[in-house]
Copies of this chain bind each other. A is one copy, B any other.
Amino acid sequence: MDTGQAPHITLIAVGTIGLSFAALHLTHLPSPSHLTIYDTRPDLESYVYENLPKFYTAAQTPPDLSKLHITNNLQTAVRSASIIQESGPENLEIKQNLWRDVEAHAPKHALLWSSTSGIPASKQSALMADKSRLLVVHPYNPPHIMPLLELVPSPQTSPSVIERTQEFWTQRGRVPIHIKKEITGFVSNRLAFALLREAIHLVDCGVVSVAELDAIVESSMGPRWAVAGPFKSYHAGGGAGGLEGFFKNVGGTVQACWEDGGNVNVGDGSGWEERVFREAKEAYGFVDTKQRDDATRRVLEAVSEEKGKRKEPR
């Protein structure tokens, strides 16, 4: 069974994230692979055929749906799979029972992935006989657009499972990153939430509005970090001295900002929620995520083309 080249992929539970993964896999599925979707909902077939097209742009070639199998039977779904990926409810007991059942019916070498954003593999694998097979593969939503996948093993996950998973996603042009510890919230959410905390503080203090704060990010670090992450950016900002030079020049300002930063908390009774939620509602109403995702796709294409240019001889 060659996981990387012609995998048989089974998705378990297809809410928005599961369907987004389905769209992604179908786009990259080589013959003779197939994609199986398993869910307990009784209307599964009509639900999938109705909602899957929402994940493609008009410009894309529609995927070959003859490769798609749909079933309400877990045993049928997993018995010939080489990759089994769950995107079910964020409920520890459900996931523990699921993996016990999957393990009973799946081929021994199948990769077992969870899309969880918070329940570590070390907890999910509690009822499994072989805990070395399970790996958290956490996407940045929606996965059919965003390249990042955080691979978060438990201490029991085998190195070969991590390697095979990295190889799978790299071959599909995605960015799988091995997170070395089962840390709360993994990495991308922790980073984003750290900035969000300061953003809430600044709105709460009346420095800027919700919409102004977003405009600031969209016209500064957003586009910059799409091209060069924070370390690379500040390393460049330090000139010949690199990141060390940057801290030598402006480390005092950095520290002053950190010390002055506002550590707001959820439900701390200070009333920031009322203001921030109201401003967001007034500024945005209902966000058209399709437009947002189309624009994000364009941004990623632009970055990718520019990166391609760099590799050419000059």
Q: Which residues of B contact A295 (CB under 8 A)?
A: 227, 302-303, 306-307
CA distance A205 to B182 in the complex (A): 12
The reply to whether B207 and A180 form a contact with Cβ atoms under 8 Å apart is yes
CB-CB contacts below 8 Å: A218-259 with B: 218-237, 240, 242-244, 247, 250-258
Cβ B179 vs Cβ A243 within 8 A: no
Q: A296 with B227: in contact, given A177-B208, A207-B179 (CB under 8 Å)? A: yes
Q: How far is the CA of A258 from the CA of B212 in the complex (A)?
A: 23
Q: What's the Cα separation between A189 and B246 when bound, in Å?
A: 13
With contact pairs A189-B253, A295-B303, A305-B298 given, residues A247 and B273 touching in the complex (Cβ less than 8 Å): yes
Q: How many copies does the complex hold?
A: 2
Assembly CA distance A301 to B306 (angstroms): 13
Q: A227-B222, A242-B277 are in contact. Are A185 and B257 (CB under 8 A)?
A: yes
The answer on a CB contact under 8 Å between A261 and B202 is no
How far apart are the CA atoms of A172 and B72 in the complex, in Å?
57
A104 at the interface (CB under 8 A from B): no
Stretch at the interface among A60-68, A106-114, A127-135, A144-152: A144-152
Which 9 residue pairs across A and B have the least CB separation, nearest first?
Answer: A214-B229, A222-B225, A236-B287, A295-B306, A194-B198, A222-B226, A140-B220, A185-B257, A147-B219
Q: Closest CB-CB distance, A203 to chain B, in whole Å? A: 8
Cβ contacts A286-302/B at 8 Å (1 or 0 each): 11010110111011111
